[in-house]
Amino acid sequence: MEFIDEAKIEVRGGKGGNGCVSFRREKYVPRGGPDGGDGGDGGNVILEVDAHLDTLLDYTYRHEYMAGNGGHGKGKKMHGIRGRDVLLRVPPGTVVYDSKGTSLSDLVRQGQRLVVAKGGKGGRGNARFATSTERSPQRFEAGQEGERRVITLELKLIADVGIVGYPNSGKSTLLRSISSATPKVSDYPFTTLSPNLGVVDIANSRRFVVADIPGIIDGAHLGKGMGVEFLRHIERTRLLIFLVDIAKGDVQSDYRSLKHELGAYNQKLLEKPRILVLNKIDLLGEIPHVEVEDNVPIFHISALRRTGLDSLLRQLQRMVQE
């Protein structure tokens, strides 16, 4: 299924039904009074979280959603029926914005709901206007229009651990090696075109979710490459793996550049716990000693050969639990 993490749609609540003007007319009841019923309220457009979804793909095919109109009131004080609600299902991690860019809600829990377009209120029938001085009112109220707005849905994946690195650093290979995920792996840039999620299941330990973010390049925060399209997904993670290709021989420079790109996008990303993982040690005859400017845990692995993964997973497990 294609991964879509942003969509813009128009939603409209249903129109309220009109009130009714009616008078009671029964045999042997000479002074029947007003008995016009109220109109029904219009339906709402509602978003609901469905944990089985992981993309906003459905909202790229259809862009307008309108709830049902309320029924008109009738005689004998019969109220119109309420309009049908429209329920739109979205994946966990969906943030909803209005047309001004204001966040309306962050939908993360299964079953969580948000009314994004309220239906109009039904109008009152003439029975509501009867008083001691006005016994035969001819008045009624028209139903109100439903709320109409354009909203933007933005999906931010929810994961415990996010893997960030340059293209071909081995992110997808690492995800395949530690989880049941099967992302595409190849030797050309931008093999990963969308985030991948994998569940790491360690015996006698709670499972945790790892996200493989598409490769980041210099200038990603300015819109270069593909990583900028998915940097938002890193915001959901609890900790980060900075994955660097040690065979390239410039670990300190790559590490500093990745930190720069994440900090330029959102400085809070650098406040998350992180570890530095040096991949592709199988391509080296001797593993060099590496130091970086901040005191982060460093692990040497070969994701392809599955070397060094046990100690890495134990560290991730401890950090996730903490």
> Does residue 242 carry a pLDDT above 70?
yes
Q: Which long-range CB contacts under 8 A does 128-135 form with residues at least 24 apart?
A: 128/19, 128/38, 129/34, 130/33, 130/34, 135/33, 135/34
Percent above pLDDT 90 for the chain: 57
Give me 296's structure tokens: 């982060």
pLDDT one-digit tens code per residue, 179-212: 876 655 545 444 444 677 788 888 777 788 888 8
Write out pLDDT tens, residues 145-185.
Answer: 999 999 999 988 778 899 998 888 888 899 999 987 665 55
| 170 is annotated as contributing to ligand binding | yes
Is 111 labelled a binding residue? no
Average pLDDT over residues 247-263: 89
* CATH (residue range 1-155): 2.70.210.12
9 marked among binding-site residues: no
Averaged pLDDT, 57-81: 95
Q: Which pLDDT band, with edges at 50, 70 and 90, does 286 fall under?
A: confident
Q: Which residues contact 81 (CB under 8 A, 6 or more apart)?
A: 17, 40, 70, 71
Burial class of residue 322 (count of CB atoms within 10 Å of its CB; 0-12, 13-18, 19+): exposed
Across the range 128-136, mean pLDDT stands at 88
- Whether the CA torsion 300, 306, 307, 312 is positive or negative: it is positive
- 103 annotated to bind ligand: no
Please state the domain extents for the chain.
1-155, 161-321
Q: Using CA atoms, how far apart are residues 243 and 301, in angstroms rounded to an integer?
A: 10
- The answer to the question of whether 237 is labelled as a binding residue is no
**129 is known to lie in a ligand binding site:** no
Q: Reply yes or no on whether the pLDDT at 215 is more than 80.
A: no
| Rounded CA separation 154/4 (Å) | 9
91 labeled part of a ligand binding site: no
Looking at every residue in the chain, the average pLDDT score rounds to 87
Q: For 161-321, CATH number?
A: 3.40.50.300
pLDDT at 217 (0 to 100): 60
280 is an annotated ligand-binding site residue: yes
The response to whether 278 counts as a known ligand-binding position is no
Please tell me whether 193 is known to bind a ligand. yes
279 labelled as ligand-binding? yes
Residue 213 marked in a binding site: yes
Q: Which residues pair with 94 in a beta bridge?
A: 107, 155
192 annotated to a ligand binding site? yes
Q: Is 202 annotated as a binding residue?
A: no
Ramachandran bin of 77, using left for φ above 0, alpha for ψ from -120 to 50, beta for the remaining angles: left
Ligand-binding site membership of 74 (annotated): no
pLDDT for the residue 256: 92
225 has binding-site annotation: no
Closest CA to 239 of 320, 156, 157: 320
pLDDT at 314 over 60: yes
What does the pLDDT average to over 54-72?
A: 93
180 known ligand binder: no
Answer yes or no: is 190 a known binding residue: yes
**126 annotated ligand-binding residue:** no
Residue 132 marked ligand-binding: no
* pLDDT tens-digit series, residues 29-44: 666 789 999 999 999 9
pLDDT above 70 as % of the chain? 89
Are 13 and 44 in contact by the 8 Å Cβ rule? The answer is yes
Asked whether residue 46 is marked as a ligand-binding residue, the answer is no
Task: Tell whether residue 212 is among the known ligand binding residues.
Answer: yes
